[in-house]
Structure 1
């Protein structure tokens, strides 16, 4: 076979085989025409044939060796944009073209079979299914959400290739100078905006067309696996959230049955714990928030746990021994880094507790974290993040007024005072900081009240001229002295 004329970039998408030129279709774009019968010998007839074939839309013509094609006809074919091929056996060329055309379908069928075989394997989750499909198809796969790659198998996708994908289309094929990809929208209610991408380097268009079919066949299995994972995830989070509620309700008194459930979950109530709380300042799905928090926790070289609770996520670090200041700072720093990442696109507030030990310590640190997060929602100056260890006690008292942790904190504050000074402090605040009225109510001399109040401020290290401090201490006195609190 001899190619008499060439055209740069010419690609034939199909082949038409007929005995005579009259049998060719009237319209054919980017196709090769193969004539199995000899053509007329006269040069002018050959030239007329070339023009008629090109007018039908063909970009290639294959004829037999007889008659010999002259130089003038070759120049005309070049000028017309027609590739002229002389084949010793036009029927053999036709058979080879047919095999190529059928080979494209055979490739598609082969890829579809590989997809079906990959789906038959058990997949633990969507990431596992993506790996099975990639291994079966023999090309890299990625599950993407916009420009974010959620799961992938094989080499990473070229960012330029990913950015070129038109997410508004059901199926989209894209090329760069070095690679090509096909993406299909994943049709699932579990999560919108997902696309399955198959990409590779150095593949031609017929191969990409075959991969397009494979992607469309694989998509329903991917959508189903995502839905299964969603259901399993919601169920698992519901169980862990319920278990955490039981632990908190037990207030540190973990019986054998609760300990069994906690252990089966992989939690350890013994040891030392540092709690944190991430909650929304607006409408944020707690489950989606948990999904964003988990990767941060899994990347840390320490035992961590988290689950949804109310409008946010509650989590904690567990240490086998009491962490030193450096260890606590590292854990708190990781939470701060996570908070900054979340804050980039979510309206959240984060609170961090202090380190406590044992089952009761876990309850305490989670309570502190929860209260610190509540306080952080009104603190844009701290970028909506507060750590209990960095707060003054009066701030914590204000944050904890409506919680079970308020009374212990109040007792911790006032426990440093002598009973007589504590009584004087309560009366002083009840009488709006009046020395005279306080002295009259207690039957004391005014100077005695002044001396006691000076001692109170020195022991507590607080400025009772500050309205917030005065309010916090007043609430503490009321809480500790309330009859239902019992004897101290």
Structure 2
């Protein structure tokens, strides 16, 4: 007679049981906190002499009965005892379990524990099917976004879930994937599992057309090899839903980004004129125009994905402890910080530094420049600081010496005029630069303009104005002193020339 050898049972271990999503509320009470066993016996202590004994009856209430039960179970050869009410074990029973090296466990639902042990020990496919059933139930609940979906899946399988790329954890639920465990996961194969100490993870490559290089990882402490294999399969089943959710969120992001960009452009183009419709749309978007604002713009120096840049800026701004808003603007991201009360200058510097920190973080993966406007108040001020930020960003794209960062507050008006030519902020800046001439000696403005029109030639200017050359020379010198400009600088002469033309144009 030929007999088929019996397949040996897998070893049970305490960590695997504790990590099982449905182990009946298992908790460690006393005795060794680790252990492996070949057998799991339910309510029949006479039928086995080793392993884990699970009782469906509660722990006796009296201390002498507790001591007697602990001693009797250990004498039978069992290494662990799990039963309801074990958390009420007295100090004597706990010390006895420690001394006899009997692992004492509390369990709310003993049959669920027995079933978990059976899955881990003899029915690996049943464990996978159980996980799959729970995932299918989770799919019945609509998810608002990716974070919501990961939360549903995490609650269903009872383990942490993370969406990761090679550099960081993009999103996670149900725990924190450690950097050490993240580093051990390979991004080359379809399935990758890893262990670091007591923690383990199973991951699968996310097949997404919009977000490359992502993996979906399921992780926890104390996972057995059986659980890891089951969770690898479960991760494969969850992945298409996660990839689809990523695509849906991407489309929503693009639509929202386009809508926000249109709204912000409409607001800026109002040039301070109040439009009830635009104001209402901004209120619905949650954009406050009241208060104090600090505008900023991130502008790409090379080709970048605008929506990806918007997402990255939003992610980094989440760590800045003040209200912030961002929207697409051309090939960059335009935004502002809002303060309810006027911030002190030190606060403004601190938040400007925070924006610089965001800039430095972005530059690790993208070639971008940053422009920061000045602090302004109210609706008109918001439009002004946004315009300033855009102008500063234009200058910053060619300022390698400043790390491609420019603040309006740190620039002279001459430099700003060069950047602002043809913009809505050009005329106010020109009037500000020439204000001393406009208020104190308007005739000097005409002389200065003619002087610059004639390439800084005294004789040619005198002939054009019908004045003596000494008069022209004195007026130019006086104008230079009032404006506080150095006319020997070609850049300054150009800026003043543009300013004079901008201010005098309405008169002509």
Fold-level match, TM-score > 0.5? Answer: yes
Q: Is 306-315 or 120-129 further displaced after alignment?
A: 120-129
CA-to-aligned-CA distance 1:5-33 (integer Å, 9 cap, x gap):
xxxxxxxxxxxxxx625x67xxx9xx649
CA-to-aligned-CA distance 1:229-251 (integer Å, 9 cap, x gap):
11111111111111111111211
2:493 maps to 1:470: yes
- Quote how far apart the aligned CAs of 1:208 are: 1.1
Match of 2:124 in 1: 104
Match of 2:350 in 1: 330
2:412 maps to 1:423: no
Picking from 364, 370, 383, the partner of 1:344 is: 364
Matches within 5 A, 1:108-147: 108-147=128-167
Q: Is the 8 A contact 2:293 2:338 kept in 1?
A: yes
Picking from 161, 167, 173, the partner of 2:193 is: 173
Match of 1:15 in 2: none
- Quote how far apart the aligned CAs of 1:402 are: 2.6
Picking from 253, 256, 261, the partner of 1:233 is: 253
Inter-CA distance 144–248: structure 2 relative to 1 (3 Å threshold): same
Q: Aligned equivalents of 1:99 and 1:299: distance in 2? A: 44
2:430 maps to 1:410: yes
Match of 2:2 in 1: 20
CA-to-aligned-CA distance 1:304-333 (integer Å, 9 cap, x gap):
110111100000122234333223222212
Match of 2:276 in 1: 256
- Quote how far apart the aligned CAs of 1:371 are: 0.9
Q: Aligned equivalents of 1:479 and 1:255: distance in 2? A: 28
- Quote how far apart the aligned CAs of 1:369 are: 0.8
Give the unaligned 5+ runs of structure 2.
10-116
Q: Is the 8 A contact 2:393 2:406 kept in 1?
A: yes
2:333 maps to 1:313: yes
Match of 1:191 in 2: 211
Match of 2:468 in 1: 445
Q: Is the 8 A contact 1:107 1:210 kept in 2?
A: yes
2:385 maps to 1:365: yes
Q: Is the 8 A contact 1:277 1:314 kept in 2?
A: yes
Q: Aligned equivalents of 1:179 and 1:195: distance in 2? A: 18
Q: Aligned equivalents of 2:193 and 2:172: distance in 1? A: 18
Q: Is the 8 A contact 2:146 2:242 kept in 1?
A: yes
- Quote how far apart the aligned CAs of 1:299 are: 2.5
Q: Is the 8 A contact 1:142 1:198 kept in 2?
A: yes
- Quote how far apart the aligned CAs of 1:102 are: 5.0
Match of 1:481 in 2: 504
Q: Aligned equivalents of 1:428 and 1:486: distance in 2? A: 18
Q: Is the 8 A contact 1:252 1:362 kept in 2?
A: no
Match of 2:457 in 1: 434
Corresponding residue SS for 1:308: strand
Corresponding residue SS for 2:486: coil
2:239 maps to 1:219: yes
Inter-CA distance 107–449: structure 2 relative to 1 (3 Å threshold): same
Inter-CA distance 127–246: structure 2 relative to 1 (3 Å threshold): same
Q: Which runs of 4+ in 1 moved over 4 A?
A: 97-102
Inter-CA distance 118–479: structure 2 relative to 1 (3 Å threshold): same
Structure 1 vs Structure 2 CA RMSD: 2.1
- Quote how far apart the aligned CAs of 1:447 are: 2.0
TM-score, length-normalised on structure 2?
A: 0.75
Match of 2:168 in 1: 148
Q: Is the 8 A contact 2:120 2:226 kept in 1?
A: no
Q: Aligned equivalents of 2:501 and 2:119: distance in 1? A: 92
Corresponding residue SS for 1:282: coil
